[in-house]
Structure 1
Amino acid sequence: MIEAPTGITFVGYENPPGVSTDQRVQHFLGTDRAAWYHHVNLTAHDRGGHFIPWEIPDAWVDDLRRTFRGRRR
């Protein structure tokens, strides 16, 4: 199990077969892998792929900020 707060960004290009982007977070939460993480931010975007920081940088940075907001010491 990953105990550290975890943010996961899903992108439409990497959706499993038969799963649309708007279903992606719920699909993940329904898997046995979801319990492995201490997820604090799960987000799905229609655009983007493996290189999301270069493809949709503003959305990716927003995801990072939501994941880490309020966790500074």
Structure 2
Amino acid sequence: PWAPAHDRTPVVQAPVGLTFVTYENPPGIHTADERVRAFKTGPQADWFNHVNVNAHDHGGHFIPWENPDAWVSDLRRTFHGRRP
């Protein structure tokens, strides 16, 4: 199995933005708020330096095409103020 090459936390130290869509929720998750909460309280959350976690009720696997305004808004929020 994969193992990180360092012992720092979070494992993924680069800023991470995550956009979930409720169309692809895991079993037992029904709303956007539940999806975000499930991620933030789940075991994967500590692996990432998440700066923006959001979920949308509209859209699916192709969210940039299905819900472009929400997707662009998430991108802007993730990268706002992060310049080299």
The alignment's TM-score, normalised by the length of structure 1, stands at 0.95
Q: What 5-or-longer segments of structure 1 have no aligned partner?
A: none
One-letter identity of the residue aligned with 2:51 = V
Report whether the alignment pairs 1:34 with 2:56: no
| Structure 2 partner of 1:71 | 82
One of 34, 48, 69 as aligned partner of 1:23: 34
The answer to which structure, 1 or 2, has the higher relative contact order (CA under 8 A, 6+ apart) is 1
TM-score using structure 2 length? 0.83
Determine what percentage of the aligned residue pairs are the same residue: 63
Across the aligned residues of Structure 1 and Structure 2, the Cα RMSD in angstroms comes to 0.8
Q: In structure 2, what is the equivalent of residue 14 of structure 1?
A: 24
Number of residue pairs the alignment of both structures matches: 73
CA distance in 1, matches of 2:24, 2:14: 24
Structure of larger gyration radius: 2
Task: Identify unmatched segments of 5+ residues in structure 2.
Answer: 1-10
